[in-house]
Structure 1
Amino acid sequence: MAASVNAHNDTQKVLIDAYEALLVHVTQMHELVNAEQWEDLIKQRTHYVMLVERLRGLDSTVLLDEAGRQRKAALLEDILEYDAEIRRRLVARRDELGKLIGVSQRQRDLHRAYAPQQGADSDGDDEAAT
């Protein structure tokens, strides 16, 4: 019976340790967002998804006692707060990039529309000058 309790405690520890590792990772991602290091953030996001998948598997097989459930809930609350802030900042960045792309496309369209006319005007000026 003692071996069963120890095995249960070990599996609980593995699950809680995985949640703690996820919290550390999402904290690092939050720091990247605050520093506007977007490329590094995207690279870290892949690892984050892998950690979440690992947790999903563990979560489905491990039963937690009351203390474990409370610790998991506290960790999840922190993780979700960071994740929500990261997502909010990513959406703002996406919107900012969308605006920049729109401005760039309008400038390109204007250039295409008026560049032939500018070329024609300068040809006429050259002929008039000679």
Structure 2
Amino acid sequence: MSALIPASSERAQQTLIESYATLLASVEYMHELANTEQWAELIDQRTNYVVQVEKLRELDAHVVLDTASQRRKAELLESILEHDVNIRRRLVARRDELGKLIGVTQRQRDLHRAYAPQQGAAVPFDADDADSTRSS
């Protein structure tokens, strides 16, 4: 098990705070992607975001912050979480939109299945055939 880095290690504290700032920049970019409905890119970025969070969690477990750094970390975390909540709201709205589209598509498919066989079963009326049966 790794020992905690003392609060006096300013470099370790700076590295941790910079990592949170980098995570904030990532989540701000993801929020912009969600707002502009760039869903594929958002999903790609979300994968990178998860990796960043895991690395940050590991680093955070080994660094003790002084009071000023704790305050800065709290500010960064608050901003990160605000963006994350907004991204999730956009994703829920998108999911609901896609659900409605899927419902419409399923209804169209069901209607097609219900009425398409009847269309094929109908025998078209041919006036020439009708005339030939009368003359015989």
Same fold (TM over 0.5): yes
Structure 1 residues 72 and 6, CA gap change in structure 2 (3 angstroms): closer
Identical-pair percentage:
62
2:34·2:42 contact (CA, 8 Å) conserved in 1? yes
- The TM-score normalised by the length of structure 2 is 0.86
Say if 2:88 is the partner of 1:87: yes
Contiguous gaps of at least 5 residues in structure 1: none
SS of corresponding position for 1:63: coil
Which one has a larger percent helix, Structure 1 or Structure 2?
1
Q: Where does residue 49 of structure 2 map in the other structure?
A: 48
Number of residues paired by the alignment? 125
- Deviation, 1:126, is 3.0
- The TM-score normalised by the length of structure 1 is 0.90
AA at the equivalent of 2:27: V
Counterparts of 1:59-98 in structure 2, within 5 Å, are: 59-98=60-99
2:7·2:66 contact (CA, 8 Å) conserved in 1? no
Q: Structure 2 CA distance, aligned partners of 1:40 and 1:69?
A: 32
SS of corresponding position for 2:95: helix
Contiguous gaps of at least 5 residues in structure 2: 130-136
Counterparts of 1:2-13 in structure 2, within 5 Å, are: 8-13=9-14
